[in-house]
Chain A
């Protein structure tokens, strides 16, 4: 039987198996090399314990005939994810929750005689508002006395970026985009502020760790080192210490330009906001989208409106405070359909990794049913000088339906943007906007928001 499948370009490192796509569904091939560990995972009780507590994606057996490559022992179909996000798009608390989940799973694995062979942040995704472990083949038998092979990776993927975000600058999470196997510990050591270096946990797991790496660089383990064993109690102590190190890292919200936008200065007033809310809800309920991207979502006001009628809403924003605040709000209120993520639209997540294919770009992960672009266009057209026609072309690339707000030059926000620069935006007016979008979209509605200078358009891609 010939089946048409494509191997996931990020799934090539593990000889135990790989992820592939078939008819828009995700499957995993388990090779003979992964049989023993997978059987232990399934029969030891670990899988059941982790699934019961929603810590790992569940899966079902699938037909072996689907195997796209030889040496297949089993095919499974994991529960399908709504969206794949990358660690460099996560807020501080999202990365922290992912770190704590990894440690919890390693802890539970030890109870069942297993261990994680890697501790990559890419093994975690956010599904229904919570982090979940997705890599069934990361589990292997734990030999008594063996150290944790994933310790270095845990420090690089989680502890170092969290420490830098917490104690140095929140924007250093972007380093995870440059270093996709985690932040090198020698660089993290140099960037940590003096006070952070005084914390024993960071001094041990980052600074001394980097020093030990340098000392033993290129040297294999000596026979004496190979004979050393790590008791289960010491293993648990190490995990407990890492957990404490992660839990003690905090980041205080506040102080950025946008996090209190709606409370402080929103150009609408309460009446205008209510009208806008009602209008957005009415349009979204007509479209009934499965997937929505809210670009420039701020703290997610309209993401929440859209989520009433959509399965998944990704709330993208450039302000780390807004993303963090939105995530904490959704987590506390149980808003499971909304996934807040960081995005600089002027420089969106690119294709990364081996062969420029391991990590999908923003555009690769579209198109979605609906994009919300509210209070956004002036930032792209005026702050970043993107011609309106190019904005329309980009949006047509990533969505089928579009709700977009035009913010004219006499709006207070645009007046601010133009206050200190020459107005070189001759085409930036309602007619210029409409003629730029006409080649790509048909309009289904146009409403001026009462009491404001702004107009909301509902469009559908041609």
Chain B
């Protein structure tokens, strides 16, 4: 899915001669990307917690938090 998304934005050339404050585009995009990656992050955290629990049970050193 993400590769289709990537392919769609690849073939259109981009020119941004951004002399006037370009941060609006960055902020708008930030919300979009954060929306896309939050689900993945939640799953990652869930697996991390499960793994840490087993590592604690078996006495192994837990990994760093994602």
A residues with CB within 8 A of B: 147-149, 151-152, 155, 184-186, 189-190, 194, 197-200, 203-205, 207-221, 225, 228, 230-231, 233-238, 240-241
Pairwise interchain contact A234-B34, C-beta atoms closer than 8 A: yes
| B35 x A212 contact (CB < 8 A) | no
Known contacts A147-B27, A228-B31, A238-B33; A200 and B5 CB within 8 A of each other: yes
| CA–CA, A199 and B29, complex, Å | 17
Q: Are the C-beta atoms of B20 and A218 separated by less than 8 Å?
A: yes
Whether A212 contacts B23 by the Cβ 8 Å rule is no
B12 at the interface (CB under 8 A from A): yes
Residue of A nearest to B22 (CB): A213
Quote the shortest CB–CB distance from A318 to chain B (angstroms).
33
A186 touches B14 (CB 8 A): yes
User: Interface SS of chain A: helix, strand, loop or mixed?
Assistant: helix
* Contact indicator B6/A198 (Cβ below 8 Å): yes
Distance in angstroms between the alpha carbons of A404 and B34 in the assembled complex: 55
Option from B23, B31, B41 in Cβ contact (under 8 Å) with A236: B41
Complex contacts, A237 vs chain B, CB 8 Å: 34, 37-38, 40-42
Q: How large is the interface on B (under 10, 10 to 19, 20 to 34, 35 or more residues)?
A: 35 or more
- Tell me whether A211 and B37 are in contact (CB under 8 A): no
Taking the closest CB of chain A, its distance from the CB of B61, in whole angstroms, is 18
Q: Could you tell me if A208 and B34 are in contact, using CB atoms closer than 8 angstroms?
A: no
The chain A residue with its CB closest to the CB of B10 is A197
B41 and A215 form a contact (CB under 8 A): no
Contact yes or no, B41 A212, CB < 8 A:
no
The residue on B at minimum CB distance from A217 is B18
Query: Among residues 1 to 59 in chain B, which have CB atoms less than 8 Å away from a CB atom of chain A?
Result: 2-3, 5-7, 9-10, 12-18, 20-38, 40-42, 44
Interface residue from B16, B29, B30, B66 paired with A186 (Cβ < 8 Å): B16
The answer to whether B3 and A190 touch across the interface, beta carbons within 8 angstroms, is no
Q: Point out the residues of chain A lying under 8 angstroms from B42, CB to CB.
A: 233, 237
B3 in contact with A200 (CB, 8 Å): yes
Identify 30 residue pairs between A and B in the complex whose beta-carbon atoms are under 8 Å apart, listed by A's number: A147-B27, A147-B30, A151-B26, A151-B27, A152-B26, A184-B18, A186-B16, A186-B18, A190-B13, A199-B6, A200-B2, A210-B16, A211-B12, A212-B26, A214-B25, A216-B24, A217-B22, A217-B24, A217-B25, A218-B20, A218-B21, A230-B30, A230-B31, A233-B38, A234-B38, A235-B34, A237-B34, A238-B33, A240-B41, A241-B33
**Distance between B60 CB and nearest chain A CB, rounded to angstroms:** 22
Bound-state CA distance A322–B66 (Å) is 32
Question: Across the interface, do B14 and A216 meet the contact criterion of CB distance under 8 Å?
Answer: no
Complex contact B38–A197 (CB within 8 A): no
Interface of chain B: mostly helix, strand, loop or mixed: helix
Indicate whether A152 sits within 8 Å of B23 (C-beta atoms), given known contacts A238-B37, A241-B41: yes
Pick from A151, A185, A200, A234 the residue with the most CB of B within 10 Å: A234
Tell whether, in the assembled complex, residue A240 and residue B66 are in contact, meaning their CB atoms are under 8 Å apart: yes
Specify which chain A residues have a CB less than 8 angstroms from the CB of B6 in the assembled complex: 197-200, 203
When the two chains form their complex, are residues B37 and A221 in contact, meaning their CB atoms are under 8 A apart? no
Q: How far is the CA of A148 from the CA of B26 in the complex (A)?
A: 9
Q: Tell me if A213 and B34 are in contact (CB < 8 A).
A: no
Q: Are A149 and B10 in contact (CB under 8 A)?
A: no
Query: Are A240 and B16 closer than 8 Å at their CB atoms?
Result: no
Assembly CA distance A205 to B2 (angstroms): 13
Given contacts A208-B29, A212-B29, A234-B35, 16 further A-B contacts (CB under 8 A): A147-B30, A151-B26, A186-B15, A198-B6, A198-B7, A207-B9, A207-B14, A211-B14, A211-B16, A217-B17, A225-B28, A236-B41, A237-B41, A238-B37, A240-B44, A241-B33
The residues of A that contact B29 with a CB separation of less than 8 Å are 204, 208-209, 212
A133 to chain B: closest CB distance in Å? 19
Q: Is the CB of B22 within 8 A of A205?
A: no
A213 lies within 8 A of B25 (CB): yes
**Once the chains bind, are B26 and A233 in contact (CB under 8 Å)?**
no
* Contact between A207 and B41, CB atoms less than 8 A apart: no
Cα A433 to Cα B7 in complex, Å, equals 60
In the assembled complex, which residues on chain B have CB atoms less than 8 Å from the CB atom of A204? 29, 33, 36
Task: List, in ascending order, chain B residues with CB within 8 A of A234's CB.
Answer: 34-35, 37-38
Chain B residues whose C-beta falls within 8 Å of the C-beta of A200 in the assembled complex: 2-3, 5-6
Contact yes or no, B12 A230, CB < 8 A: no
A453 to B59, CA, bound (A): 62
CB distance from B43 to the nearest CB of A (A): 11
State the Cβ distance, B40 to closest chain A Cβ, in Å: 7
Do residues B41 and A213 form an inter-chain contact, with CB atoms below 8 A? no
The 9 closest A-B pairs by CB, nearest first: A237-B41, A213-B25, A152-B26, A216-B25, A212-B25, A214-B16, A212-B29, A234-B34, A186-B16
> Chain A residue with minimal CB distance to B33?
A204
Which residue of B has the minimal Cβ distance to A148? Answer: B30
